[in-house]
Amino acid sequence: MLKVVFDTNVYISAFVVPGSKAEEAYLLAVDGKVELYSSVPILTETAEKLRGKFMWDQDKITAVLKHISKVSTVLKPPKRLKLLDDDPDNRVLECAQEAGAGLIVTGDRHLLDLKQYEGTGITKVSGFLYSFKK
Q: Which domains does the chain have, with CATH numbers?
A: 3-130 (3.40.50.1010)
Provide, rounded to the nearest whole percent, the portion of the chain with pLDDT above 90.
Answer: 96
Q: What band does 131 get if pLDDT is binned at 50, 70 and 90? A: confident
Q: What band does 134 get if pLDDT is binned at 50, 70 and 90? A: low
Q: Which of 1, 2, 3, 8 is nearest to 106 (CA)?
A: 8
